[in-house]
Amino acid sequence: MVSSVLQWSIFMSIFSSICCLRRDYFITAEEHWWDYAPSKQNLITNDRTISDRLIQTTEYRIGSVYKKVKLKQFTDGSFRREIKPAPWMGYVGPTIKGETGDVLYVHFRNLASRPYGLHPHGVQYFKDSEGSLYMDGTSGRDKLDDTVPPGYTYTYRWSMLNTFAPTKDDENCVPVGYHPHVRSTKDIDTGVVGILLICKPGTLNPDNSRKDVDREFVLYADTVNETNSWLIDQSLNLCLNPQRCRQLFNQKNEAFITDTLMYSINGYIYGNLPDFPVYEGEKVAFYAMGLNLGLHVFGVQGQSFTFKRKRTHAVVFGIAWFQGLYMTTRNPGRWMIFCKVNYHFNRELYYRLSGMNTHCYSYCYNN
């Protein structure tokens, strides 16, 4: 009897230490001014013919600063202490993590000026936690998650069921994305995006970092169409001649719209992305995401990586595409991540993608 109680309590303590946590996340949506190129320069090449159009503000161009919405993470439900993101995160929202069997409680407070929700990919939810506005025949509580009005808070419950978990052939964690689904392309162009990570049991440390890698980075490549943002009206005011810009916008002037297309990584263009800090020999995971527009081909110079546990030198980012890329850093130096798409390359769009930098301190110190 005593021994079976003991066995049971041992079983329970092992069970509760390895399985099925409730994980709470506290996230706000807040409006802010975002600069895609804080240096105001093309830091990749000297050819400024295209980059000036995207960076410099003129009478008839907005430049590199836009009003956007950012997701911020807080320590608890008082929403007072922010968990500050690393500089390389750019405007990408917090990474939500859990292990197979866990249930995520995502407390979402909308502090922006219009409705947003949170819609996850790759986890299990019921109708009250889908975070997606469409004519699905639901009502009452099942409708409240679709859009959260300004000033309101809603708790989404997402389960990391076995049927959504990494398979034995996967890496230990599988990234997916989350974003609002009020009108998803506009919501995403407004900046409301983040990564959600589903891990095999026993992968995460108590502080949520992974036991099996040394560094984790988010790599969100997209062609952000700022004229499609919900907040374009405020950004138009930054033109030196706002009336002229408003006119071009209303006429759907092609050149004007093209100069608001930001070929960005984590919200930075032309090498303005802050370094991904890595030491030589570290195992690095990139949670790569493509969402709205275009195909992008991930390439990195001076390093090699694996994708789906296979060695490769290039990976295509599609639309609503989420994958893990793994790299053990060799060859110290500052290296560039960029888009290899021929069209982008030839049309100089390549230069609009931000530089990545595996930044090895040992090398820098030697310098």
Ligand X SMILES: *[C@@H]1O[C@H](CO)[C@@H](O)[C@H](O)[C@H]1NC(C)=O
| Contacting positions for ligand X (CB under 6 A) | 225, 227-228, 252, 257, 293
**Closer to ligand X at the Cβ: 172 or 225?**
225
Retrieve residue 318's tokens.
Answer: 């599609």
Long-range contacts: 303-312, Cβ < 8 Å, 24+? 303/327, 303/329, 303/330, 303/331, 303/335, 303/358, 304/330, 309/169, 309/171
Q: Rounded to the nearest whole angstrom, what is the least distance from the CB of residue 352 to ligand X in the complex?
A: 14
Q: SS3 of 315, please?
A: strand
d(CA 59, CA 67): 18
d(CA 314, CA 285): 15
Q: Rounded to the nearest whole angstrom, what is the least distance from the CB of residue 189 to ligand X in the complex?
A: 8
d(CA 175, CA 323): 6
**Closer to ligand X at the Cβ: 255 or 364?**
255
d(CA 303, CA 283): 12
If you search the block for the tokens 């960076």, which residue do you land on?
Answer: 55
**Closer to ligand X at the Cβ: 228 or 303?**
228
Q: Rounded to the nearest whole angstrom, what is the least distance from the CB of residue 317 to ligand X in the complex?
A: 16
- DSSP per-residue string spanning 28-71: EEEEEEEES-TTSS-SS-S--TTHHHHHS-BTTB--SEEEEEEE
Q: Which residues make beta-bridge pairs with 296?
A: 317
**Closer to ligand X at the Cβ: 42 or 228?**
228
Q: Rounded to the nearest whole angstrom, what is the least distance from the CB of residue 355 to ligand X in the complex?
A: 24
**Closer to ligand X at the Cβ: 39 or 258?**
258
Q: Rounded to the nearest whole angstrom, what is the least distance from the CB of residue 190 to ligand X in the complex?
A: 12
**Closer to ligand X at the Cβ: 208 or 253?**
253
Q: Rounded to the nearest whole angstrom, what is the least distance from the CB of residue 231 to ligand X in the complex?
A: 13
3-state helix, strand, coil in the chain (%, to 5): 20, 35, 45
Q: Would strands 310-312 and 261-265 be described as parallel, antiparallel, or unpaired?
A: unpaired
Q: Rounded to the nearest whole angstrom, what is the least distance from the CB of residue 293 to ligand X in the complex?
A: 6
**Exposure class string for 241-272: b at 16+ Cβ within 10 A, else e:** eeebbeebbeeeeeebbebbbbbbbbbbbbbb
Sign, CA dihedral 132-135-137-143, equals positive
* Cα 256 → chain centroid: 26
List the one residue out of 156, 246, 232 whose CA is nearest residue 191: 232
**Closer to ligand X at the Cβ: 58 or 253?**
253
Q: Rounded to the nearest whole angstrom, what is the least distance from the CB of residue 50 to ligand X in the complex?
A: 16
**Closer to ligand X at the Cβ: 100 or 225?**
225
Residue nearest to ligand X (CB): 228
Q: SS3 of 149, please?
A: coil
**Closer to ligand X at the Cβ: 263 or 322?**
263
Q: Rounded to the nearest whole angstrom, what is the least distance from the CB of residue 228 to ligand X in the complex?
A: 3
Q: Rounded to the nearest whole angstrom, what is the least distance from the CB of residue 183 to ligand X in the complex?
A: 10
- Burial class for 277, CB neighbours closer than 10 Å (0-12, 13-18, 19+): middle
**Closer to ligand X at the Cβ: 261 or 360?**
261
